[in-house]
Structure 1
Amino acid sequence: MIGTMARKPVAREAVLDAFESLLIEVGERAATLDAVAKRAGVSKGGLLYHFPNKEALIEVLLDRLDDLATADADAMAAADEGAAAYFIKSSVWADTPLDRAIVAATRLAEVAHEETRQRFAAIQQRWLQEIAADVGQAMAKPVLYMGDGLYFNAMLSVGPVPANETAADVAGLLAAVDRLRG
């Protein structure tokens, strides 16, 4: 047809990335379908073609989280340094795809989204299983809490945390893990 250009295909991942970013930046209530479409640079109809409603977007975001967390737990299980040390070292905010998926999903959990809470519980159980295989059942939760504390303190810091300070925190926690191993 003369005068008509083929429409660019809607990038499903771009829409999902836009939703994830909006959740991180402004929270669940402001991450409307209109806002997601605008951020992704697509029409609302283009968004609805791939995601008929917000719950469909949430479901795919949670699937992304599951995939990333599974890959992370597999890497943790295979780590030469042990699962506990891997967990501590990877508990530093690095703006990775897993970091972003966790923070976005946390915004959903904040509004009591039950499926999100269930997915987080399953992820945490897998992490605990891998850590327990390394340092024992009694020490698994303390290691999990060490990593979680490191992660959330870095994420909530007012400004960038100096690399030497983060490295010192990680080294201190790794020394504690060695003491836990006895």
Structure 2
Amino acid sequence: MKREALLDAAESLLFEHGTQALTLAAVADRAGVSKGGLLYHFPTKEALVRAMVARVIEEFDGLVASHDDGTPGSYSRAYVEATFEILTGEARAHRRWSAITAAATDPEQAEPLNEAMRRWHGEPAGERDPGAAMVVRLAAEGLWEVVSHAPELYDGEQLEALKQRLLALLER
């Protein structure tokens, strides 16, 4: 059993049933492996949660990097593009985020995510209007949170219009 499939199983349990359902036995059962097979990759529930948090951070960092061309203001544009790629792409991605946030309620478990938030929402160099860039990134973050809880609220056309509006704010 691959590590990624175990993480997927844990994330689906979290999303479907909440943090109380995240047990090593339940993850092993969902993934169709023995508990020993799971323990080989994740010896504790805390190790499993750390790996889920790390994967979310790495995936988002990778998306941002793929859109950041290094020109002035490109970081915030990349942040918006990455956010909307997740919101309009594979449904699992934004569910994953809310599940991981719920799982990382222990301050020690949440610290990598908190550090990533400080980095993502800090003041990157080269912004034309740092205040507007901050507002745009926070708006994208807020939209992500809303869509995580109410995915039916905005259709694809509405999300595209919101993305274009946020990008336009960065060009002023």
Coarse TM-score class (shorter-chain normalised):
0.7 to 0.9
How much identity, in percent, do the aligned residues show?
33
Between 135-144 and 41-50, the greater mean CA deviation after superposition: 135-144
Runs of 5+ in structure 2 lacking a partner?
Answer: none
2:98 counterpart residue number: 103
The TM-score normalised by the length of structure 2 is: 0.80
Where in structure 2 are the equivalents of 1:108-147 lying within 5 Å? 108-109=103-104, 112-129=105-122, 131-147=124-140
Cα offsets for 1:15-52 (capped at 9, x unmatched): 12111221222222111111101110011222122222
2:142 counterpart residue number: 149
Contact preservation (8 Å) 2:65, 2:78 = no
Letter in 1 for 2:24: L
For residue 26 of structure 1, the aligned residue among 12, 17, 20 is: 17
* Rounded Cα–Cα distance in structure 2 between residues aligned with 1:124 and 1:139: 18
Deviation at 1:54, TM superposition (A): 0.7
Runs of 5+ in structure 1 lacking a partner?
Answer: 1-9
Specify whether residues 136 and 173 from structure 1 end up closer, same or farther in structure 2 by C-alpha distance, changes over 3 A only: closer
1:173 counterpart residue number: 166
Does residue 57 of the first structure (1) align with residue 57 of the second (2)?
Answer: no
**1:78 counterpart SS class:** coil
The TM-score normalised by the length of structure 1 is: 0.76
Cα offsets for 1:127-179 (capped at 9, x unmatched): 23475532444334312211112222322225263221111121222222223
* Rounded Cα–Cα distance in structure 2 between residues aligned with 1:35 and 1:97: 19
Letter in 1 for 2:142: G
1:7 counterpart residue number: none
Between 142-151 and 92-101, the greater mean CA deviation after superposition: 92-101
2:7 counterpart residue number: 16
Contact preservation (8 Å) 1:22, 1:36 = yes
Specify whether residues 89 and 58 from structure 1 end up closer, same or farther in structure 2 by C-alpha distance, changes over 3 A only: same
**1:91 counterpart SS class:** helix
* Rounded Cα–Cα distance in structure 2 between residues aligned with 1:100 and 1:117: 17
* Higher alpha-carbon Rg: 1
1:85 counterpart residue number: 77
**1:88 counterpart SS class:** helix
Question: How large is the Cα RMSD of the aligned pairs?
Answer: 2.7
